[in-house]
Amino acid sequence: MKKFLTILLTVLNLHANDLFVYDTNGQVELTEVITNKLSVLPTTVGKTYTITNSLNINTTNSSVSYIVPYRIAMFHKENTSTYFNQTHTEYVNDFKLPEMVKVKDAMFNFTVNGELYCVSESTNVNTLLTSLCSVAFGQSTFFVKSNEKFTHLYVVSGTVTALDNKSKKKKELKSGDYLVVTPQVVMNAREASVTKLGNSFSVKEVEDEEKDIHSKELTVLKSKLDNTLFVNHGQNIFGFKLK
C-alpha cells in the first residue's frame, strides 16, 4: 500500500491540506484571506485546498460537493456560502511516510448561509454555525437551510444538538426531527420598539415526498464520502477518488 501511495504522490501536484473538491455543477467561487488580502482561487475538481486561510465557498446558480478528512462530506447547494475556520487537529499519523490520513481528535467548525447536506462519520464533536443557532454533530446525516431570518434543520440519521446563539436554549434532535428556528421578538406599540428575546424553536412535520428528496441526496453524498481517501506526503494532506 505504501509503495502504491509513493508512486501516486510522484505524479500528482500536492496541495495542503484539508478540503477536497469532489465535483461541481456550474461556476463555484473559492476565496481565501492571506495577510488581510482577499484572493480568488481557481476551482479545480480533484484538488485539495487548505482551510487555514479562512477558506470561503460561494455558489450562485451552481453547486459543489466536498470532503474533509474528518470523515465528513458536504453537498453545498445553489445560492449558498460556507466559511471555514482554522481547525485544531490531532492526527494518528506521524507524517514520516505516505499513508492514509487518520484523525484522532479535532474541533472542526464552519459557517453556512444557504442550503447544505452533510454526511458525517466523525466520532468527534463538530460545529456548524448559522446566524441563529449552532449545530453540534458527530455521526449523523442532516440537511440545513439558513439565512438571517430562519434556520431549518432536518435530521435523517443519528443525533444532533441545536443551540440558540442568543440564549441557553438547546434542543436534542434525532432521526426524523425537523427543527425551525426563528427570531423571537416582542413589539411594544406604545414605545414603538422591538425587543429580541433569543430565538424560537419549533418542530415541523415532514411530508413523505420531502423525506425522500432529502434521503436521496444524502445517499448520493454518502457514496462520495465512501469513494474518497486522504493521504499524506510530508506535512501535506490531499484527497483523491478511489474510482
pLDDT tens-place string over residues 63-87: 999 999 999 999 999 999 999 987 7
pLDDT tens-place string over residues 189-205: 565 555 566 799 999 99
Average pLDDT, the chain: 87
The predicted model gives 121-138 an average pLDDT of 95
- Predicted confidence (pLDDT) at residue 9 exceeds the cutoff of 80: no
Domain locations along the chain: 2-229
Residue from 113, 141, 130 nearest 217 by CA: 141
Q: Which CATH number is correct for 2-229, 1.10.10.10, 2.40.50.100, 2.60.120.1440, 3.30.200.20?
A: 2.60.120.1440
Number of C-beta neighbours around residue 6 at 10 A: 13
CA distance 75 to 77: 6
Of 98 and 131, the one with more pLDDT:
131
- Predicted confidence (pLDDT) at residue 7 exceeds the cutoff of 60: no
> Residues 184, 199: contact at Cβ < 8 Å?
yes
- Predicted confidence (pLDDT) at residue 6 exceeds the cutoff of 50: no
pLDDT tens-place string over residues 137-150: 999 999 999 999 99
Residue from 85, 63, 70, 177 nearest 119 by CA: 70
